[in-house]
Structure 1
């Protein structure tokens, strides 16, 4: 056989073997992770919860209900009092000092213990009396001792002038106060007015001999409402027209639902008996037997894991999606992939909407949905990339951990994280699959967008991200806005825009023949700087945490380093490496130096103090202490000494008490359940994913140097910088999450990519990044 023919045959055999070997290994590992999910469901013990709670008191008797009687995990031991009045029917009173009870009547919500101030009303905080002069939905004006006060939901004015900032106000608080004084009313950031204490500053109105925050006046559902404040001021009387808000009663006539401690109850009233049907967050019991007061009875029901509440139509839709995925895997045709992607997108959206409406999809349907989404991602037409295989395994591991949390927690709410992640994964994989197929079709037909069109699309993407950040500042909080995290979309937009600008930097003049054209382009390309400043401002103003600053710092260093490599600036690359080494040394120095010097710091000093001495701060250091205990119990082999296989599907115990264990401390749960051995396997998968990103970026780097025209060079360099930017954000999430769980860094709230139940992070950042990265990445095939 001639040498060229033999070499060609060997290359073909190596190509086929490499392709099938990589796919076979990935499928085997994915099947093992999905089988562990099925095994967890099979081994989950039976759990019981109340389907209905019946209350039938004796005439004239008041029934006190709390956490045990209501099966509400977040309710107080004595949370509310019910009595049957002969004239007014059922009457409800809130007994909790710091937790509210909400009565729902159609679309209106009444919070017990709060009151809307009307013109002419008199309210009283302990012995201090205030006369309301004018009041509407946007502001309230009142007087006391000759002083004129006006509060608009954001700023407190004393005799017509805004009060100065408090001496202990942080930079973020001062920035919010300045914005509220300058911005129009519709754009102001809501800040409550606190009564009590000895200071007249900011949004504090001092009241002598009254604890700070004894009463609060704040925006709630478009109205200004007065309510008792924190538990520290629970003995302070807050009266409106002589009525004590802490003793306020509400009639349940016409009410359709109650919300008590995050648990929602549907009401059914037949005069003599009140029936409450709990949903959302309901406590689970190992047996249908519980000692209850004589006036309270439960109708028990068993937790449904396999069936759920969705009808046959949902199962038929997902079954059709599974068949299309199987067909795509068998014949690898684009038509079947399009249909499978569309069906998965519809099934994921329907499951998510059903969950939002309070209809539980169970656990078997999300398991099938998540597995189908991951299989589709593997079998989409094209080469199997190394980063794609690693991402699929990381996503499967994340679903397994979230399912274990849902089955191991003593309440129903934890399973919704798994259900939501599976639904969002189906949406992301379906939409990402359609995007990948469209790019593949466009590349095959030679259809390309004009450079100006791409720039305007990126600018529009930046505007959407900025609008989302603005909405979070105006109407949201640290947890996001409208149950979303716009910062995840902003990170993706920042990575894309920066990649575009840096790609143009290396071939600017070839596509800009006139200086005026350059000026107009720079005017449009200022968007990355605006996005960066917006993210920085959000981190400083909205989030009481410095983890976004660290995340942006990691991204900045990575982008500067990638630029230095492409530009062959060795001095800059060396300086950045030295900066990284100094950062590691600074962390070690902080760990060894102790906490004496940190007491004088005014910026986030508390977090460093808790990190250095968690035992000395038992309340604020609870998360760190509980996480360390969970990791210690896990050891190398897991808490069950069988890598978590013996405890699969069983109750998780005290590890579920870690605050935000589903997000920031998901890694602590993993180590507790599967040991440090399981964590090392996860580290290997994470390192493989980052290595796949680096290989894809390297291939784009080489393509940029070999390009023959500006369009090809820009495309390759854009891909290079986008992969570096996206990989830097993922690396930052890995570093922050592992550093937080292992106490390397102070406590910082960032989810671990692929593992934590971060829905917005999965849908708005990871899935688009994976869709972009999968196209043209180095594959597991031989070349």
Structure 2
């Protein structure tokens, strides 16, 4: 590709989609950098790895952007099978971190195959429903959806990584609810799920199992144990007040009272340093991204493109809501990163690959 052709393709970029993503990445990198300021013996490993991951992810985004999304889904099953194999092999050669065997160590970097599984699942389910258009409610379509969703969910639960397993299940349920159920059926399924949950709670679970579930849902029942992180997160968010304590000056994040400031609780670290103003800017960027995703879906001229953008949008939206919710003490801690902001090379690279697919969709809806 000549320089002239490359510059021409850059003009075709959906900048309304790419800009908030880039700004969110910068937001995350700045937070990782400042959490090491004014700290004795700072460790820049996370910042350096995230910076490299961002570079690799952006390269991947631009490569995928030039590939027709219809051609990409031709390889969806291959990518899906590779992801399943990696999810199985990780039990043999994977690295265990905080009780979860879910990472490969490659040249000093941790690779989490479940992130590839999320990417592959969206591609595969979108291709499935596109191929079976007009037969979305048929037994074969629904059975295939259940099979390809359940396989990675089970493998991920065995690691165990319940947060990622729930995320994979959410993708399958989102497509199932949108395309394979009528509104009345959604109400019926929801009602049956509630009745089943009540029956299991009252007649199946014993007291210690109920206590575990209650502590998971409400960590503040155990403020010095499971609820410690959430308690410190809420303190950090409140301490930021309107304008924040300043970059590198947060007590909870800088003095390490708040654990996992680079991953699970990066929103709390931002709120403490930059206050309500900084958190509002972050939320505005996130809202910008989701509004653009909705606009792309609305403009899609074919089902396949809409399914792809919808699937990746579900992942980004759900993880954002869960991450911010657990930072505010509104949702249980599930170990899900904040898209484009939290530290995590695998998630960042695969998320940028998903944005690349959205870019491919967006520019081709304009007749490019």
TM class by shorter chain equals 0.7 to 0.9
| Secondary structure at 1:481 match in 2 | strand
Q: Distance in 2 between matches of 1:431 and 1:747?
A: 30
**Are 2:261 and 1:661 equivalent residues in the alignment?**
yes
Counterpart Cα distance in 1 of 2:26 and 2:292? 18
Q: Which has the higher helix share?
A: 2
1:420 aligns with 2:23: no
Whether the 8 Å CA contact 1:380–1:433 is kept in 2: the answer is: no
Given that 2:17 and 2:292 are in contact with CA atoms closer than 8 Å, whether structure 1 keeps it comes out as: yes
- Kept in 2, the 8 Å contact 1:614–1:625? The answer is yes
The 1:599/1:394 distance shift into structure 2, 3 A limit, reads farther
Task: Give 1:581-730 correspondences, 5 Å limit.
Answer: 600=207, 602=209, 605-606=211-212, 608-609=214-215, 612=218, 614=220, 616-638=222-244, 640=245, 647-648=246-247, 650-655=248-253, 656-700=256-300, 703=301, 716-730=302-316
**Offset from partner CA, 1:465-514 (integer Å, 9 cap, x none):** 01110122233232522221000000000000000000111167xxxxxx
Give the corresponding residue for 1:777. Answer: 362
The answer on whether the counterparts of 1:667 and 1:741 sit within 8 Å (CA) in structure 2 is yes
Q: 1:547 aligns with which of 163, 175, 198?
A: 163
Asked if 2 retains the 8 angstrom alpha-carbon contact of 1:547 and 1:736, the reply is no
CA drift of 1:454 comes to 5.5
State how far apart, in whole Å, the 2-side matches of 1:599 and 1:627 are.
31
> Is the CA contact (8 Å cut-off) linking 1:465 and 1:493 kept in structure 2?
yes
Deviation at 1:610, TM superposition (A): 6.1
CA deviation digits over 1:680-723, x for unaligned, max 9? 222221122112112111211xx1xxxxxxxxxxxx21111111
Aligned residues between the structures: 340
Q: Larger Cα Rg: Structure 1 or Structure 2?
A: 1
- Aligned residue for 1:473? 91
Q: What is the Cα deviation at residue 677 of structure 1?
A: 2.5
Check whether the contact 2:322–2:336 (CA below 8 A) recurs between aligned residues.
Answer: yes
* 1:254-653 mapped onto 2 (5 Å cutoff): 333-335=4-6, 380-413=10-43, 415-439=44-68, 455=74, 457-476=75-94, 477=96, 478=100, 479-482=102-105, 483-506=110-133, 529-543=146-160, 546-563=162-179, 569-572=182-185, 575=187, 579=190, 600=207, 602=209, 605-606=211-212, 608-609=214-215, 612=218, 614=220, 616-638=222-244, 640=245, 647-648=246-247, 650-653=248-251
Task: Find the residue that maps to 1:658 and give its secondary structure.
Answer: coil
Q: Which has the higher strand share?
A: 1
1:208-223 to structure 2, matched below 5 A, reads none
Deviations 1:14-45 (A, max 9, x none): xxxxxxxxxxxxxxxxxxxxxxxxxxxxxxxx
Listed as ranges, the gaps of 5+ residues in structure 2 are 195-204
* Alignment TM-score, normalising by the size of structure 2: 0.80
What SS does the aligned partner of 2:37 have?
helix
Deviations 1:408-445 (A, max 9, x none): 543332x2222111111111212321332354xxx9xx
Q: Report deviation, 1:778.
A: 7.5
- The Cα RMSD (Å) is 3.5
Q: What secondary structure does 2:362 align onto?
A: coil
> How far apart are residue 757 of structure 1 and its match?
0.4
